[in-house]
Each structure stands twice: as structure tokens, then as C-alpha cells.
Amino acid sequence: MSFVTRSDHDLIWYTSSKLSGVPHGFSTRPGGVSGPPWDSLNLGPGRGDVPGHVAENYRRFCAAIGTDPERVVLARQVHETTVRTVTAADAGKGLYSPRDYTADALITMETGLPLVVFSADCGILLLHDPVTGAVGAVHAGWRGCAAGIVEKAVAALCGLSGADPSRLRAAVGPCIGPCCFETDGDVPDAMRTGLGPAAEAYCKYDNARGKWLIDLAGLNREWLLRAGVPAEQADVLRLCTACHPKLFWSHRKMGDARGAQVAMIMKA
């Protein structure tokens, strides 16, 4: 792991050295202006928070990582595998104008467009082609993971930039860990359908709990490797969102009364 913890006053975020030189970050809860239950750096609009508070939270986070909050592009996530190619016409969508699309992955070759995906336990990934500068942001919860959204996003970004997957850099952000992701057999079955035998290493049955324990970050990294990204270029932040409620929101622990953290990346 080569993640770095960044801070600015109360604001805390993570960056990956694999994406060095690219404006990007994985946000956390502290450092914003939102009140309970969205306290405090809630970056999820439409969750009942005051819109002005969400906008101010974006201003703070974007200032920290060096992006323009007025040009952010937010995904309307539906746990599917749609990959959207973002253009200048999408600038501000989701924060300053409506999102007229659904997508769980965003990619772009255009400069100055911060791409945003949300999480409150789901996997979130950032992609970068260091030759052309093309970037991508992927939301990969267990449904999207099992359906292959990571591999599809890698293929789409390579198709857009002309890159071979072997030159991509990737960072897998915080998500619910195998310590807390307890499930019945439907999730491991879906992972086996998508990944085949490779899924077994990330799905362990706990006899004491009577549940399967799922390593979502490991599964998303496995998809990166299958897509052709070299292991040494795929970074993983091993922090469980459910284990650290002061640092992250967790849908499993908090339900719908919560905010959301994000992964953001921009071609400079």
C-alpha cells in the first residue's frame, strides 16, 4: 500500500502515490459544515442535507486537492455497469445542474473536469493513464463488482485514450472490509459467476457467525488484474468504512441517515 494521509485543519483525505501528479483524493467525514446526521464533510447531495452546506463541503475538498468545485461531475449511481464518457457539457452536473444520466463509472480525456463517485461502504476506484492523462472514477459495490464494472471501465478508458491496460495506474479506496461484510450465499455466488475460481480467495465462510465474509477491496483489485493492470500499479487502501465511524459513513452501520464520502480525480 502506498496511500498517504493528508490533512488541512480538520479536513482529512487520502491520496495514492500510484496517482502521483494527478489531482485526486478519497474523502473522509471531518472538516465540513454539515450538521447531524450528515456531519460534517458530507459530499452526497440529495440526502436531506442543506444544499448550501454540501456546496461548501465541495469547495473545501476541491480546494484541498486542487480541483474546481463548479466543474465537478457527479455520477447518479444505480449499482449497474454503465460507463459514461464525460465531456465539458457535463461540468457541474449533479451539484449545480441536474444529472440527466445514470452511470457507475465516469471516464474522460478532457482537462479540468473532476470526476466523482460516492460511497458509504461500496468500493470506489480511481484510474489514470500517465501517458495521455485520461482518468476514470468507478463505483463498484458488490453488485457492480460481480457484474464486472471494473473490467468494463478499464476497457472503456483504454478505448478512449488508446492505452494498453498495462500502463494504467489504479487506486482502490476505503470500503467495508471482510471483518464487517457479512452476507448469505447470494454474494459469493455472484462473485463466482463473475470471476470464477479466483473469487474463492475473497469469500470465506465463518462457521461461528454462520455467514460469508467478503473482501470487496480484494475482489475489485482482482478485477483490475484480470483487466490487465499490473499488480504493482494497483494500490489498495485497507481501511474498513464500517470499523471507523468517526472517519467514514457506513450504510451497514448507519442506514440512510448519513452522508457520503467520495473519490475524486481530474485530468490536469
Q: Could you state, in chain order, the average pLDDT of each consecutive group of 10 residues for the chain (268 residues)?
A: 90 97 97 97 96 98 97 95 97 94 97 98 98 98 98 98 97 98 97 97 97 98 98 97 97 96 97
* Residue 211 located in a structural domain: no
Provide the residue range defining the domain that includes 39: 3-175+217-265
* Residue 236 located in a structural domain: yes
CA–CA distance, 16 with 173 (Å, rounded to integer): 9
At 1 the pLDDT is 55
Q: Quick check: pTM over 0.95?
A: yes
* Residue 207 located in a structural domain: no
Instruction: Return the ∠ at Cα 221 (arms to 152 and 1), rounded to 5°.
Output: 140
* Residue 135 located in a structural domain: yes
* Residue 248 located in a structural domain: yes
Backbone angles phi, psi at 192, to 5 degrees: -65, -40
How many folded domains does the chain comprise? 1
Determine if residue 174 is left, alpha or beta; phi over 0 gives left, psi from -120 to 50 gives alpha, anything else beta: beta
- Cell numbers at 39, concatenated: 456531519
- Name the DSSP letter for residue 201: G
Residue 246 CB: number of other CB atoms within 10 A? 7
* Residue 253 located in a structural domain: yes
* Residue 9 located in a structural domain: yes
Residue 4 CB: number of other CB atoms within 10 A? 10
- Kindly provide the b/e burial profile for residues 188-200, where b requires at least 16 CB atoms within 10 angstroms of the residue's own CB: bebbeebbeeebe
* Residue 144 located in a structural domain: yes
CATH code, 71: 3.60.140.10
CA–CA distance, 259 with 39 (Å, rounded to integer): 7
Instruction: Return the ∠ at Cα 76 (arms to 92 and 236), rounded to 5°.
Output: 95
